[in-house]
């Protein structure tokens, strides 16, 4: 038990010696580590200059809240009609549906087709003067455009505020804002057309049910529902903000969103410094092994054998 403090003290001294040895190694190889760190910093910054500038536009929308629903006398009839596959009395502008559309290829496909965005998305391959794809460049397909548009878009929902934030990234600030404005236009048109289609389908179905409903009370309720569907169809066609309200319209950003060149340069500096430190320890390891080998094998083995005899 008396040797325990001495053992601990002995090992503590060994640890201190090891730390000092490491510091001495870093001191001896300081020039190498510094050179590699500076080289990594310069190369990383030079690489960041080759990256294309990207700008991100943002817009905030708020889905239009649903109305109070059908009158109390019609609620039971509405519940019964909701079970019919072709009938739907729910609001087409609910937040989950808008989110699903924004994250779907269906809306992106409409956006690309309606505005011919393939030359805009792949502007580096498009010759504006000749109005054609550059020679030697692979012509992007429609699915390439969908994937690129998916990467450049971001959608976030805030249930607390009932808002949806949409961001669009592009090579120029003006184009990012323009693409986001086109997206909101296509989204509003799609929701309006879908609401009008559903309302017209509901109206036609209700009108067909009048022929098979002799009960005057039920017929009166069906007439009330038909009036609601006609009103919904008309509102979907004339209201500008039928599906959602634009809280924060898209605007061209004044600063690029990427690349963050200072962070890339800092990452290159840190990575090079760590690599240089590891290289210094590796070089010292092989140097110490070589010195130990020279010390143990510096004597001539033939002469040693003669001296022993």
Q: How do the domains of the chain map onto residue ranges? A: 3-51+260-288, 55-248
Taking residues 135-158, report their average pLDDT: 89
Taking residues 103-131, report their average pLDDT: 88
Give the model's pLDDT for residue 301. Answer: 47
Whether pLDDT at 51 is above 90? no
Taking residues 187-210, report their average pLDDT: 84
Q: Report the range of poorest mean pLDDT among 96-100, 110-114, 209-213.
A: 209-213
Give the model's pLDDT for residue 159. Answer: 87
The pTM for the full model equals: 0.67
| Closest to 236 in 3D by CA, of 283, 200, 212, 208 | 200
- Please give the CATH topology (third level) of the domain spanning 55-248: Bacterial polysaccharide co-polymerase-like (3.30.1890)
CA distance 191 to 134: 37
229-285 per-position pLDDT tens digit? 787 777 766 656 677 888 999 998 888 888 888 999 999 999 999 999 999 888 888
Give the model's pLDDT for residue 40. Answer: 93
56-95 per-position pLDDT tens digit? 999 999 887 654 444 444 444 444 444 444 545 455 467 8
Whether pLDDT at 187 is above 70? yes
CA distance 225 to 202: 9
Q: State the chain's mean pLDDT as an integer.
A: 79
Q: Report the range of poorest mean pLDDT among 17-31, 47-61, 249-263.
A: 17-31
For 47, the token pair is: 């690489």
Taking residues 284-297, report their average pLDDT: 74
Which is more confident, 18 or 176?
176
Percent of the residues in the chain that have a pLDDT greater than 70, as a whole number: 77
């Amino acid at each position: 038990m008396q040797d325990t403090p001495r053992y601990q003290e002995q090992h503590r001294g060994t640890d201190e010696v090891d730390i000092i040895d490491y510091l001495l190694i870093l001191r001896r190889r300081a020039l190498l580590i510094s050179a590699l760190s500076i080289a990594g910093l310069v190369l990383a910054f030079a690489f960041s200059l080759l990256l294309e500038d990207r700008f991100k536009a943002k817009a905030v929308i708020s889905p239009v809240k649903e109305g109070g629903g059908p009158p109390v006398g019609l609620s039971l009839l509405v519940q019964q009609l909701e079970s019919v596959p072709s009938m739907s009395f729910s609001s087409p502008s609910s937040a989950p549906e808008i989110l699903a559309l924004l994250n779907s290829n269906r809306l992106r496909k409409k956006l690309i087709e309606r505005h011919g965005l393939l030359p805009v998305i792949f502007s580096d391959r498009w010759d504006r003067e000749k109005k054609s794809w550059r020679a030697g460049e692979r012509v992007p397909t429609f699915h390439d455009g969908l994937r690129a548009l998916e990467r450049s878009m971001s959608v976030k929902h805030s249930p607390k505020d009932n808002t949806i934030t949409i961001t669009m990234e592009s090579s120029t600030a003006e184009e990012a804002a323009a693409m986001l404005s086109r997206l909101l236009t296509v989204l509003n048109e799609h929701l309006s057309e879908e609401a009008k289609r559903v309302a017209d389908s509901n109206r036609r179905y209700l009108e067909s049910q009048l022929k098979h409903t002799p009960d005057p009370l039920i017929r009166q309720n069906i007439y009330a529902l038909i009036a609601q569907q006609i009103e919904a169809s008309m509102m979907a066609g004339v209201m500008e903000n039928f599906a959602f309200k634009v809280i924060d319209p898209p605007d061209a950003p004044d600063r690029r969103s990427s690349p963050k060149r200072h962070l890339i340069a800092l990452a290159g500096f840190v990575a090079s410094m760590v690599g240089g430190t590891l290289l210094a320890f590796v070089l010292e390891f092989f140097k110490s092994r070589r010195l130990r080998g020279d010390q143990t094998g510096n004597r001539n083995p033939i002469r040693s054998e003669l001296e022993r005899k």
